[in-house]
Amino acid sequence: MSTRERRERSNESDRFLLSLFNVALEKAGKNNKGLAVAAVGGYGRGELSPGSDLDIVILHQGQFSQNALSEFVNNLLYPLWDSKSVDHSVRTRTETRDAAESDLKVALGLLDIRLIAGDADLVVSVQSDSLDSWRKHARNRLPELKKSLEQRHERAGELAYLLEPDVKEARGGLRDINALRAISVSGATTVPLERISWAESKLNDVRETLHQTSGRNKDRLLFQEQDAVALELGYVDADVLMSDVAQAARSVDYLLEFIWHQLDQKVKDGFGRFLRKPRTDIVAKNLNVSQKEIVINPLTDLQSDPMLGLRAAATAAQLGLPISLESYSLLSASLNEGKGLLPNPWPREAREHLISLIGAGESMVSIFEALDQEEIIFHWIPEWRALRSLPQRNALHRHTVDRHMVETAVHAASLTRKVHRPDLLLFAALFHDIGKGDVEDHSIRGERLIEPLARRIGFPSEDVEVIKTLVKHHLLLSATATRRDLDDPATIQSILAVIPDLTTLELLHALSIADGEATGSAGWSDWKATLVSDLVKRVKKAMSGSNVFAAQPEITPEQLKVAESGVLQVNLEQRENGYSIEIISPDKPGLLSLVAGVINTSRLDVRSARTKTHGASAVMKWIVTPEPHAPAVTAQNLRNEIEKAFNDASHIEDRLIARAQAYASIPSIPVPDPIVEIFNDGATDATIIEVRSHDRPGLLFRIGAGITQSKVDIRSAIVTTLGAEAIDTLYVTELTGGPLSDERANEVASRLLQLLK
């Protein structure tokens, strides 16, 4: 099973055809001037699997009468038909050119044309016609090729993820490799074909073995054939074989996707011929957008910025752009040299980038796939290697374990508004099946494996416990809802016994939905979703009393002293990757919004904030990170800006609008709509407004302004950013004190939703 054997088989056919050609020539009484037999397609490349057709072209110059020509062809082919299946065409040079122009398949086959017997000059002319035409018309033919590939992928599915895939037709299969070769020949862009040479020989070996063991020329790797093929190729079992097939297909698909992206860019830039220097925009520290790709500043030393890789991945995913191939190479080279490795545990910024990446939805899939293909992810999460292309022979599943978890994360990203800890949901979704690949129950093994990972990524202990619970019990709700009597109090008790609080229950519910949706229709349906929701409702009822919203912050005695003095005080403390800012100020309407506006226009990004009013003063604590190239901040100039804003805030609004417009030119991905929830909290005599939204510049300013317009007082605010998601909890009262009425609360909620649209 090797390239050599396929070549040998091809040579053997060549010899046979040559002898037949000579016999036919003799019978026709002609010489070989202007007459030739040539191989095209895979046979043209000298690669023949046992069941492959012989694709040949018989070239002539019209020197025969119609009858004599068909007699010649019959003499040539009849003996062949007894032993081989032949796919042939009979054409002149002009006819060949016309056929190639009207039929993509013919054009592709001709790119590999090779003389078997007869007039070498004729074959060379046809070959140069084909190559010239292919190169000259690449602008039209490549989109045509792309379209035909898309149609074939639609029909044949993905080689890497199907349980019984077609190694030739499916996405990432041998036909895609041919397409890559054709793109390379066109000269439209450089195709690093060496990156898929392992994949090509692997897939060819599998196809050849399949033909041999099945005795047929079918390319679909059915369950019933997989064991025999695995055995023949020296694999331990079919799972290891299928894992290699998946790996090969993924590298092909990855390269193809990348090449299409490059070509799309070239087409937009007029094939790059008269291109001015491409425009670059800085989007984050050491990261630019250039030609619709995220590019790492090549001068950056990863050692001094180990977060750069994760930042690039998160930024690319959140903007819906790919990362340039050079940037991946830079990253992977640095990491392979041991430069830019992350400390244990990860710093907060690294964790937030990972969460932003996971939470980006659909656009995360290609970035994650690239991180896998470039072997970058294993430097961050070595645990991923054991899951890579791990097959699961389970009728419910359609994807390998790793892809299933990525799909689950995609579905989880659309459920982030339904939970109070989107970060824990996304993380658990991406790793919920980490325990698979062993005979032990994967939920129990998963609980054990997730703990060190979650700790290394830097989650605090209480979060690690929640993550462990989620992984261990990710099947609990579906199993209970379908197999136990929901009317039986013991059923509800059995959930309460392992799910400690409402936050965890919400998370587990969202995880069950994401997991089910990612599994596909065999494992999840509206019917099942209804059952699970019903169970969750009943458990929630039994849990009533536990709060999920953030509690009000405490004020320290030192802060109290300053607050009582009624002066404006700003303290700034430099922290890793940012500042901690303490502001104590006389309270006034719109204070939160003003300060948020000042911070935002100082080009600082709010990660979290705690504010509380005390008497006539407000105490605020902000954790912020500066944007790339933000000017240095001092306590004094922040204080000046805030004082200036107290007198007149109109300039802040103008600057925020200008900034929002600047951001509008940067692409974005679809995100779930914001949610505003309102509760009345008897304990604090205030109304609690909780806003859950995708984070964006000026978010807090907008929320604060909306509240102020509604003429209500903000008693305290707790702002948390988790990856790319923000949760803002506001304790508000009427200006005269006391909680809002239901009508007023709804009015505030709808105003906020309007402002956040």
Chain residues that interact with another protein, rule: CB under 8 A: 481-487, 525, 527-528, 530-531, 534, 537, 540-541
Backbone angles phi, psi at 287, to 5 degrees: -130, 135
Q: In angstroms, what is the minimal distance from the CB of 527 to another protein? A: 4
Considering the complex, state which of residue 339 and residue 538 has its C-beta at the smaller distance from another protein: 538
Backbone angles phi, psi at 157, to 5 degrees: 75, -170
Q: In angstroms, what is the minimal distance from the CB of 444 to another protein? A: 23
How does DSSP classify residue 330? H
Q: In angstroms, what is the minimal distance from the CB of 395 to another protein? A: 15
Q: In angstroms, what is the minimal distance from the CB of 420 to another protein? A: 14
Per the rule left: phi > 0, alpha: psi between -120 and 50, beta: everything else, 8 is: alpha
Considering the complex, state which of residue 128 and residue 521 has its C-beta at the smaller distance from another protein: 521
Q: E strand or H helix at 469, and its extent?
A: helix 461-472
Q: In angstroms, what is the minimal distance from the CB of 530 to another protein? A: 5
Considering the complex, state which of residue 194 and residue 526 has its C-beta at the smaller distance from another protein: 526
Residue with tokens 């110059």: 61
Considering the complex, state which of residue 482 and residue 556 has its C-beta at the smaller distance from another protein: 482
Q: Which two tokens stand for residue 585?
A: 């100020």
Considering the complex, state which of residue 462 and residue 487 has its C-beta at the smaller distance from another protein: 487
Q: Counting Cβ atoms within 10 Å, is residue 24 exposed (0-12), middle (13-18) or buried (19+)? A: buried
Considering the complex, state which of residue 699 and residue 745 has its C-beta at the smaller distance from another protein: 745
Q: In angstroms, what is the minimal distance from the CB of 483 to another protein? A: 5
- Listed residue (245, 507, 515) closest to 404, CA to CA: 515
Write the DSSP assignment of 92-151 as a string of letters: -HHHHHHHHHH-HHHHHHHTT-EEEEE-HHHHHHHHHHHHHHHHHTHHHHHHHHHHHHHH
* Nearest-angstrom CA–CA distance, 588 and 591: 6
Q: In angstroms, what is the minimal distance from the CB of 679 to another protein? A: 8
Write the DSSP assignment of 401-457 as a string of letters: HHHHHHHHHHHHHTTGGGSS-HHHHHHHHHHTTTT-SSSS-HHHHHHHHHHHHHHHT
Considering the complex, state which of residue 303 and residue 530 has its C-beta at the smaller distance from another protein: 530
* Nearest-angstrom CA–CA distance, 664 and 413: 22
Q: In angstroms, what is the minimal distance from the CB of 534 to another protein? A: 7
Considering the complex, state which of residue 15 and residue 537 has its C-beta at the smaller distance from another protein: 537
Q: In angstroms, what is the minimal distance from the CB of 104 to another protein? A: 41
Q: Starting at the earlier edge strand, list the strands of the sheet with 287-290.
A: 280-284, 287-290, 293-296
Q: In angstroms, what is the minimal distance from the CB of 525 to another protein? A: 6
Q: Which residues are paired to 680 by β-bridges?
A: 687
Considering the complex, state which of residue 91 and residue 540 has its C-beta at the smaller distance from another protein: 540
Q: Which two tokens stand for residue 418?
A: 């339904």
Q: In angstroms, what is the minimal distance from the CB of 541 to another protein? A: 8
Q: Which two tokens stand for residue 688?
A: 């609690």
Q: In angstroms, what is the minimal distance from the CB of 486 to another protein? A: 8
Helix (H, G, I), strand (E, B) or coil at 263: helix
Considering the complex, state which of residue 251 and residue 478 has its C-beta at the smaller distance from another protein: 478
Helix (H, G, I), strand (E, B) or coil at 704: helix
Give the 3-state DSSP-derived string for 608-634, with helices as H, strands as E and coil as C.
EEEEEEECCEEEEEEEEEECCCCCCCC
Backbone angles phi, psi at 312, to 5 degrees: -60, -45
Backbone angles phi, psi at 33, to 5 degrees: -65, 125
Residue with tokens 């799909």: 407
Considering the complex, state which of residue 540 and residue 655 has its C-beta at the smaller distance from another protein: 540
Q: Which long-range contacts (CB under 8 A, 24 or more apart) does 335-338 make?
A: 335/302, 335/309, 335/376, 335/379
Q: In angstroms, what is the minimal distance from the CB of 114 to another protein? A: 49
Q: In angstroms, what is the minimal distance from the CB of 479 to another protein? A: 10
* Nearest-angstrom CA–CA distance, 72 and 24: 6
Considering the complex, state which of residue 482 and residue 565 has its C-beta at the smaller distance from another protein: 482
Q: Judge whether 208 and 6 are in contact, CB under 8 Å.
A: yes
Instruction: Name the CA radius of gyration of the chain, rounded.
Output: 33
Considering the complex, state which of residue 22 and residue 533 has its C-beta at the smaller distance from another protein: 533
* Nearest-angstrom CA–CA distance, 433 and 523: 15
Residue 575 C-alpha from the chain's centroid: 32
Considering the complex, state which of residue 339 and residue 528 has its C-beta at the smaller distance from another protein: 528
Q: Judge whether 6 and 204 are in contact, CB under 8 Å.
A: yes
Q: In angstroms, what is the minimal distance from the CB of 374 to another protein? A: 43
Q: In angstroms, what is the minimal distance from the CB of 537 to another protein? A: 6
Considering the complex, state which of residue 274 and residue 527 has its C-beta at the smaller distance from another protein: 527
Q: In angstroms, what is the minimal distance from the CB of 98 to another protein? A: 50
Residue 641 C-alpha from the chain's centroid: 41
Write the DSSP assignment of 536-587 as a string of letters: HHHHHHHHTT---SPPPPP--HHHHHHHHHT--EEEEEEETTEEEEEEEEE-
Considering the complex, state which of residue 295 and residue 508 has its C-beta at the smaller distance from another protein: 508
- Listed residue (505, 506, 508, 529) closest to 517, CA to CA: 529
Considering the complex, state which of residue 231 and residue 548 has its C-beta at the smaller distance from another protein: 548
